[in-house]
Structure 1
Amino acid sequence: MNNFWLVAKHEYRRMVLRRAFVLTTLLIPVGMAAVIGLAILVEASGEDKRPLGYVDHTQQLDITLWQNQLDANVELLPFPDEAAAQAALANGDIQALFVLPASYPNPRQTDLYFLEDPPNGDTWGAFDDFVRLNYVDTLDPALRQQLLDGPAIVVNDLDSGRTFSSASIINIILPFVATFIFFIATMSASGYMIQVVADEKENRTMEIMLTSLSSFQLIGGKTIGLLGVALTQLGIYGLTLVVGLLVAKPFVLVLQTAVIPWVYLGIMALFFFPAFALIAGIMVAIGSIVPNLQQGQQVAGLLNFLFILPIFLLAIIIENPSAPLAVAFTLFPTTAFLTVSLRWGLGSVPLWQLGASWIILVLTAVFAVWAAARIFRIGMLQYGQPLSWKTAVAALRNS
């Protein structure tokens, strides 16, 4: 067991200290932050900061109600008559002008004046909120707040007991984030395991290592070490995401009411570890069979497709998360992680499917690691001779 952890520690340190790993791990969050920052900068530079003018012929709008709002991020400027307001608009003192006729709200029609571009959605929405705030001011406080908040639709799933609402919008966003992260982890893990096995097999380092530890300890240690590398990457990406959300929270209303889906995160963690072990086992077996690194990478590229297949069938899963194809992908080991993740965000997954999928995935992962160790040992015993698929299957049958 001590040798097992020595191999894991060696592989972890060997990987995380590589310049390519450091650059890849840091450039992705830094690049995303730069793109988001540039988008915010461009948006802020093009935002019109001038006040929004209005003329109230109904004499019912109280500007102090708007000024007392904590989220009043648009300045509203009242004018006594249209002549003064039109002059301010012509001089560029205001970005646009709303005129409420004396008959308002019957009909609910207003006049809007602007020189070149109309006000953006946030500015328009601010004026709508201002008018709505005045017309519900005399109502009961509880009813007033309910009308200001607008309708809230809550869907209760009787099968799973889950609740879907606007506050759980993060449940829809997270599966796509998990898909992106799993895609990166799959690509990096498969490429690294193929490279490690092929390189060490060619320079015969493996033969020396196998004199002091078993093939299972060697393969298992490398898998655990690579898992630690993947978790390090995920931790850095997750920390970057958390910092970004905390920075954006004061400016994004959805984030202020979002609820962290801990159950979803726990389920994804349970599925991620065996899925990663399955990838590692398959790639080690391929690296032991193919004669060189180039062929191994070609085969690995085809097998990686099995793990990311739900991405290409995303439209079908979105249309009907409980379709027979989605259920089949949930139970199939290589597609289980992404399918469960997407279905959880778009609907509900029955408990029996979750349990059956996880058990099948764990058993398949254990078998993959065991088979990889057996195939690897046979490949080392036949060094210098190509190991055929028939020989590999025969070795597993005789174990």
Structure 2
Amino acid sequence: MNHKIFLVARQEFTSTLKRRSAQFAIFGLPILSLLILSGINWFAKSQGSDDSSILSSFISDNADVLPTGLVDETGQINHFPPPTNSLFTPYATLDAAQAAYEADEISGYYQIPADYLTTGNVFHYADNVPIDSPNEYMLFTLLADNFLDESVPTALVIAPLQQYEEINLSATDTQAAQSTGAAIGLSMGTAVLFYLTVIGAAGYLLQSLGKEKENRVMEVLLSSLRPIHLLVGKVLGLGGIGLLQMGVWTFLAFVVFQRGNNLFANISLPTLSAGVWSLTIIHFIAGYLVYASLFAGLGAVVPNVKEGSQYTFLLMLPTFLPLWFNSIMFTAPNGPFAIWISLIPLTAPLAMPMRLTLTAVPPWQWMVSLSASVGTAVLFLWAATKFFRSQTLLTGQHFSPKVIWRTLRNI
């Protein structure tokens, strides 16, 4: 590596890492998320909740609402398992429940008629009865617990498909058989990680270039550095920030899922080979090179960070295509649409990793995708260096398509 490129890369890496905003994004945000999940898990365990009712118990026990009355005319409801014991107040008659309602002691009341086992009818009395009462699920739990035979597990009646999985039989040696639902979840997680790391690091590059232009530091740097050395150094240095963030977030994600956290007890991660993980990371790196080069070109022609940030969304639009059409990606990951957007350089960095987590991708496709992305990154980076002409940097003119066209004609 050229010594000047190394110096620029080291400076960008260390200066960005010292920023509090970067430290929070890399370390603080994932740790905060982990602490919140751990707190919810601890609260659920302290309340004696099972895995299937942690979130509902957490919400119900903390909601500052009145309980709901329950008039059991069958005489068979005598057990109120948590958290139904805090949600329902039993009354012997409808008149007693109505009196409690008028005294604002309850928010309403349910009537379980004497012929419930024959008709299945249940009546809910309240002013402005909601279309979907939040206590309906808890009432279902209460009725199932009291009317079912002890040999029938209540949890299986409430959620008979707790461990339902779809197995991908088209998996090859690069991808083990896996749960389709879990693979979709991992695919969406891959998309989130892409935006947090790849686009985030590219955004740091735009900010760095914009601030140096505003402070006239860029003119000093270009007096002793070639534009290619400056840009490559910045791309590599901030790419290191992106890789660090990716590593921290991925490590903490595995910690959450592997520690037996009750919130994720029923979630099984798909088994992916080391090759698939490696290809995903490589595509992330290629995607970063593509968008870092694009942002570098934008940083070269805009006069300041504020004006440049207005156009970042336009540059990022192609990356949203795999998410906008995620139903096609999930149902037909080897279909024509999924294949084409995983080969186009501007959409491939996200589309190809999503496909890799969903199905077996032919080697020629990911090789073409990588080659096209790297080639596009080199082309964009070369064009960005041409934008760093002294007259472009010194004029301070506002960004416009006319400026871009004039600059491109002079390359």
> TM-score, with normalisation over the residues of structure 1?
0.69
Aligned partner letter, 1:16? L
1:23: which partner in 2? 24
Determine the structure 1 residue equivalent to 2:282. Answer: 270
Structure 1 residue 390, shift from structure 2 partner: 1.6
Q: Output the aligned Cα RMSD.
A: 3.7
Unpaired runs of 5+ in structure 1?
A: 50-88, 96-113, 131-149
| Matched residue type, 2:186 | L
Give the Cα–Cα distance (whole angstroms) in 2 for the partners of residues 243 and 41 of structure 1: 16
Aligned counterpart in structure 1 of residue 368 of structure 2, from 356, 366, 370 = 356
Q: 1:118 to 1:225 in 2, by over 3 A?
A: same
What corresponds to 1:395 in structure 2?
Answer: 410
Whole-angstrom CA distance in 1 between matches of 2:358 and 2:229 = 40
Change (3 A) 1:154 1:190: closer
Do 2:145 and 2:154's aligned partners in 1 also have CA atoms closer than 8 Å? Answer: no
Q: Could you say what secondary structure the match of 2:334 adopts?
A: coil
Alignment of 1:1-399 (within 5 A): 1-47=2-48, 90=78, 116=142, 118-119=144-145, 127=153, 155-157=168-170, 165-166=177-178, 171-248=183-260, 252=265, 255=268, 259-377=271-389, 380=392, 382-385=394-397, 388-396=403-411
Q: Percent identity?
A: 25
- Give ranges in structure 2 of 5+ residues lacking alignment: 51-76, 84-139, 157-162
| CA positional deviation for 1:27 | 3.1
Deviations 1:149-189 (A, max 9, x none): x999754438x655653468654433222110111124423
Give the letter aligned to residue 218 of structure 2: M
Structure 1 92/210 Cα, relative in aligned 2: closer, same or farther at 3 Å? Answer: closer
Q: Indicate if the aligned counterparts of 1:153 and 1:165 stay in contact, CA closer than 8 A.
A: no
- Cα distance, 1:116–1:270 mapped onto 2, change above 3 Å: closer
Q: Distance in 2 between matches of 1:37 and 1:249?
A: 8
For residue 347 of structure 2, give the secondary structure of its aligned residue in structure 1. Answer: helix
- Residues in 2 aligned to 1:252 and 1:151: alpha-carbon distance in whole angstroms: 14
Alignment deviations for residues 122-142 of structure 1 (CA, whole Å, 9 cap, x no partner) = xx9995999xxxxxxxxxxxx
The residue identity in structure 2 corresponding to 1:20 is: S
* Number of aligned positions between the proteins: 318
**Kept after mapping to 1: 8 A contact 2:213/2:393:** no
Measure the CA separation in 1 of the matches of 2:81 and 2:202: 61
Q: What TM-score, normalized to structure 2?
A: 0.67
SS in 2 for 1:237: helix
Distance 1:307 1:94, change over 3 A: closer
Deviations 1:361-387 (A, max 9, x none): 110011111111121235556544557
Given the superposition, is the C-alpha separation of residues 218 and 259 from structure 1 closer, same or farther in structure 2, using an over 3 Å criterion?
same
